[in-house]
Amino acid sequence: MPEEVTMQSALIVVDVQNDFCPGGSLAVAGGDAVATRISRWIESGNDYHLVVATMDSHPRPDPTQPFPHFSDHPDYMRTWPPHCIEGTCGARLHRNLRLPPSAVVVRKGQEAAAYSGFAGHDDHGVSLAENLQRERIGAVDIVGLATDYCVKATAMDARAHGLAVRVFADMVAGVSLGSSGRALDELRNAGIVVETSIDGSRSRPE
């Protein structure tokens, strides 16, 4: 007898934190508007089995322990101004982002730069991949910041984990338009569906 396949879906909200929104140390234009759109999307009755929020979470700068992810002269490709330092306001999720109480928060970047949410763990030390596996998640929708870095890395890793992946182009924002456009092309080439949330609600399998 064929085993019954139940494919649950999850929403992964990537790094919608103050430092990546206008006013933050590494602001992405439109990050706050993305936060609002994600909240509306969640509240409009999208029935995800699991909602995960990833957070960049870095140690305080310490002169005795260089942290190569940060630089006073960042190139905005490999090095960045200090951001999302644990315990600071900049590290908090943006106030426009409203998550369900059941949402799982996954933090990454404590030891080194970590662009993908799959490098992160929840408060119990459980990885993002394990969280998805134990809820039998087969498909993920990915939204958040920034398109060309952490959204891209998280989506590529989700694909590498064998998940069906969609990225909603109207609920992401990037560091630069050029690299964000290239990132979305790379995602499409990897078999990831890139569409708007309006198309997504039409095509959503029930």
| Token pair recorded at residue 193 | 């569906």
Nearer to Zn ion, 36 or 71 (CB): 71
From 19, 56, 108, 148, the catalytic residue: 108
Nearest 10 degrees: Cα torsion 172, 173, 177, 180: -50
Find all residues with CB under 8 Å of 46, minimum gap 6, and list them.
11, 201, 204
182 neighbors 148 (Cβ within 8 angstroms): yes
Task: Kindly state whether residue 148 participates in binding Zn ion, applying the rule CB under 5 A.
Answer: no
Catalytic residue chosen out of the listed positions 56, 150, 152, 157: 150
Q: Is 15 a catalytic residue?
A: yes
- Decide whether 46 or 79 has the Cβ nearer to Zn ion: 79
Residue number with CB closer to Zn ion (153 or 156):
153
Query: Position of tokens 């970047």?
Result: 109
Which residues are registered as beta bridge partners of 172?
144
Q: How far is the CB of 148 from Zn ion (least distance, A)?
A: 13
Q: Does 150 participate in catalysis according to the annotation?
A: yes
Return the structure tokens found at 22. 């206008």
Instruction: Give me the least distance between CB of 108 and Zn ion, in Å please.
Output: 8
CB 47 to Zn ion: min, Å: 32
Name the residue nearer to Zn ion (CB basis): 56 or 148.
56
What is d(CA 164, CA 166) in angstroms, rounded to the nearest whole number?
7
Residues 39-68 that bind Zn ion (CB under 5 A): 56
**Known catalytic residue at 56:** no
* Pairing verdict, β 193-195 and 8-14: unpaired
Binding site for Zn ion (CB under 5 A): 56
Instruction: Point out the residues that are catalytic.
Output: 15, 108, 150
